[in-house]
A and B are shown apart, each in its own frame.
Chain A
């Protein structure tokens, strides 16, 4: 009752509710007018009227949407709008400054006629393939080893995972130093007496992209290990016990039962790694700077170079759109299979 009275003043009265309430509370002038003005049918309570809700209640029902609105606008403008914008730029002749002179697909033609773009694509394929394969192999192996009731597991796990806390720029800087032919690992091995040992990948335009793989795998494999380990811990114990009762040995159990059940983890890991690979920018910039020459360029560094240092905005936009396509080519099938399996489950 007390609650009721407290709320009274917020009511917007235009119907039945008024009549009910009017018995208890004084009828204000406005209420009177509304009641007089409303034809009998307005009091017919089978017709729903939104104005029956009190003001505070109406704000209340809108509040969730109001809260979400800024994110909605931001997403619409700064994600979808900007993708569209970049798409538009890629169809223009923009160079140093954006202009909106329609140029059809000429930027794309130019892009695919550009040797440097092909190098970037080839590097992405090489780096992406090796980086993903390396991280998956190392990550899974380490996870299985760590899953053998290891003493000090927590500590070892933290050691494997810490590179993930580092910036790719820091990782790149560290490995750039270690891979430095003059003073790095090459010198270290030569000092051991192997005088002909050469490890000059960093300055070798044929091999420089592989240094990115080395540093990338070092940084990300621990994370994949953590994902697999979480996956292994999630495997139902009773399945393993059942397999043991059936007489399966440990390797067989892993190979035939546990690893196949990690399929979703493989999927997610693949997704994340391919995403890192496609976006790889910082690591390449810090480690090789795309060099020597442009031998270790990736689409990400290509896009940056053409858009911001070589004033080829149109082509930069075209390369960005191509990157989006590549990501979509990876993500869409993944999301599709995820959605399908979640609908089944």
Chain B
């Protein structure tokens, strides 16, 4: 049995169903991300794991214990909140030791633990301050310290970084990842930020409307999204979706790409059989921005690599990359190009399409065509 298993968990308030049968299982030491747009039920699920919210039906196991009816304090968990939820009347030291004190840990041991935690998070100098005297990042650190001090079997994080500014968020993200490595405990982490999800998680559960749409490793989810929603939710800038007609060409399938006057047909390698049902019909082709770049001579012409020339509509330099917007099949498409090769707005440029990681979706069901 895993470190945490959620079995067919449902939650409803009256007749409205918030969670519609969630099944997730993770192993000891894994970092699970619950990600999804707001209102998808991810925070409710976390609250149910924590015992702060009742479970309507289904079971939650932490380790071997079924915890459905245990109160939060008996679940051997610790939680870090979005607002940090530091006790404003207590010093950092008291904040960290409060949980230990309630659990009747001897004073001497409390002090030892506080010292250890402070050292891990490098906040020895903050111990005697009140939360109001701390910066956002420092509060975040204390909140984590409070969780670590308890040494629980399961850590819960509820959007812990969303109140921080962009720079600090990246720093703390790294810090959480390091911490996970050091402590090696199982973590459930809720976020709406797909970058956090990708960078932190061992496993990601993408949620929408009270359901887990896809559950897998970050790479699986990035490369093989099960439907249009997951594909568009994960990745920044978002995946391009091009409506394309499937053409049949010498017994092979091809995708018609119209780049403003010029029509290209990109042959499809592999996965061909699945497309048979769609011959002559329109499908949605998903291609990530980084798969449309400037033309690299030695790759052009290789299987799955195709070149098309078109006019640049908009150019958005981000520093590391330049995002170029072009039009294919009357849709704006974002391409990620190395700044050295990017041409300016209004100029024509040859783009190379790497179709090897392209995914196809049914335009009606929005499901992946495999």
Report which A residues bind B (CB closer than 8 A): 1-4, 6-7, 16-17, 20, 45-46, 48-49, 52-54, 57, 60
User: 27 interchain pairs (CB within 8 A)?
Assistant: A1-B76, A2-B103, A2-B104, A2-B105, A3-B74, A3-B76, A4-B74, A6-B104, A7-B74, A17-B66, A17-B69, A17-B70, A20-B66, A45-B59, A45-B66, A45-B68, A46-B57, A46-B59, A49-B69, A52-B68, A52-B69, A53-B69, A53-B71, A54-B71, A54-B74, A57-B71, A60-B71
Least distance between A25 CB and chain B CB atoms (Å): 14
Bound: A46/B76 CA distance, A: 22
Q: Are A20 and B68 in contact (CB under 8 A)?
A: no
**Bound state CA distance, A16 and B65, in angstroms?**
10
Closest 5 CB pairs of A and B: A52-B69, A3-B103, A57-B71, A20-B65, A53-B69
Which residues does chain B contribute within 8 Å of A16, judged by CB atoms?
A: 66
Output the residue of B57, B58, B59, B69 with the most chain A CB within 10 A.
B69
Using A2-B105, A17-B66, A54-B71 as known contacts, list a sample of 14 further A-B pairs with CB atoms less than 8 Å apart, ordered by residue number in A: A1-B76, A2-B103, A3-B73, A16-B66, A17-B69, A20-B64, A20-B65, A45-B59, A45-B66, A45-B68, A46-B59, A49-B69, A52-B68, A53-B69
| Nearest CB in chain B: distance from A21 CB, A | 9
User: Cβ of B69 and Cβ of A48 under 8 Å apart?
Assistant: yes
On B, residues with C-beta under 8 Å from A are: 57-59, 64-66, 68-71, 73-74, 76, 103-105
Give the residue name and chain of the A residue nearest to B151 (CB): A1
Shortest Cβ gap from B103 to chain A (Å) = 5
Closest to B54 in A: A48
A45 proximity list for chain B (CB < 8 A): 59, 66, 68
Which chain A residues border B76 with CB–CB below 8 Å? 1, 3-4
Q: In whole angstroms, how far apart are the Cα atoms of A4 and B64 in the complex?
A: 14
Contacts of A57 in B (CB 8 A): 71
Residues of chain A within 8 A (CB-CB) of B70 are: 17
CB-nearest residue of chain B relative to A60? B71
Measured CA separation A4–B62 after assembly (Å): 14
Task: Give the distance in Å from the alpha carbon of A20 to the alpha carbon of B68 in the complex.
Answer: 13
When distances are taken between beta carbons in the complex, the residues of chain A under 8 Å from B57 are 46
- Closest CB in chain B relative to A55 CB, distance in Å: 12
Q: Which residues of A contact B69 (CB under 8 A)?
A: 17, 48-49, 52-53
- Give Cα A7–Cα B70 distance, bound, in whole angstroms: 11
A100 to chain B, nearest CB (A): 44
Min CB gap B51→A, angstroms:
10
B49 CB to nearest A CB, Å: 17
